[in-house]
């Protein structure tokens, strides 16, 4: 059986986390990532009959029974993933009862998955119904986007419209726009339920004064989605205090949509 530390999904996961830390999105132990793995991928490296321990989920994930997830650990720093994956991340399988996780590898120091795993699993359920190819849910704290939630109206339509106007590529990268939640207590099932209710139709949910939740097909795509939104927020935060003299108009957004044959979210462009 191959060494799991050589697995492509482990290396990509750790490299993504390192980039997120490098960009200042995930200070200290902020942020978390869950990555849906196939049984075939896992069996190449692990004996799936060997369960290290059982960890209660705090949520009934019956719709995900038997599915495998690579998940960041609670209290773990993204900057440490590359140097010590086995203590900082873990691979779990959702147990048959739907309320427990079977730990197959990782959290070697006795730790467990992020406290926001229930919110991740709720989002995976919602995204898989909308898009069976979804494999990643990423939560992070991009600086400029976080700042934008303090000064911009917390309205889904207005927030999406502003982001689309900040950079020509925005409507191309996220034509489904963004959803915006008011501030809510993190690490609770309530914020997970509110996020899942929105992330089915839209891959991105902004947690006001906190961060962002995104879904995607793979780590690169999901990272790129966050990266694009954060760039747009940065441009907004740099220019709004000065006053905008030029802007991408609604007619120009429509031209972009036509050029790239996009089906964009209704109600944003007039």
Alpha carbon of 22 to those of 19, 80, 142: distances in Å?
5, 12, 11
Q: Count the neighbouring beta carbons within 10 Å of the beta carbon of residue 265.
A: 20
Whether the Cβ atoms of residue 83 and residue 25 lie closer than 8 Å to each other = no
Rounded CA-CA distance 200/24 in Å is 28
Burial zone of 227 (CB within 10 Å; 0-12 exposed, 13-18 middle, 19+ buried): middle
Q: How is residue 223 written in tokens? A: 């990272």
Catalytic positions, written as ranges: 116
């Amino acid at each position: 059986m191959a060494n799991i530390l050589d697995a492509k999904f482990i290396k990509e996961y750790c490299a993504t986390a390192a980039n997120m830390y490098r960009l200042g999105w995930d200070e200290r132990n902020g942020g978390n990532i869950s990555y849906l793995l196939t049984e075939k991928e896992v069996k190449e490296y692990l004996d799936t009959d060997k369960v290290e321990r059982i960890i209660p989920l705090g949520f009934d994930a019956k719709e995900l029974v038997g599915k495998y997830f690579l998940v960041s650990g609670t209290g773990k720093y993204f900057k440490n993933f590359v140097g010590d994956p086995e203590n900082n991340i873990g691979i779990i399988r959702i147990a048959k009862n739907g309320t427990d996780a079977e730990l197959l590898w990782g959290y070697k120091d006795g730790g467990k998955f992020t406290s926001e795993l229930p919110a991740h699993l709720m989002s995976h359920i919602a995204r898989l119904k909308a898009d069976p190819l979804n494999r990643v849910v990423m939560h992070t704290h991009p600086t400029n986007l976080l700042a934008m939630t303090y000064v911009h109206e917390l309205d889904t339509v207005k927030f999406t419209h502003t982001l689309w106007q900040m950079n020509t590529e925005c409507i191309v990268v996220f034509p489904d726009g963004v959803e915006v939640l008011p501030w809510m207590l993190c690490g609770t099932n309530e914020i997970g339920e509110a996020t899942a209710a929105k992330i089915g139709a839209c891959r991105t949910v902004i947690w006001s004064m906190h961060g962002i939740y995104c879904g995607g097909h793979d780590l690169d795509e999901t990272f790129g989605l966050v990266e694009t939104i954060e760039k747009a927020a940065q441009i907004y935060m740099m220019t709004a205090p000065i006053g905008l003299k030029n802007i991408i108009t609604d007619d120009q957004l429509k031209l972009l949509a036509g050029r790239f044959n996009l089906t964009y979210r209704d109600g944003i462009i007039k």
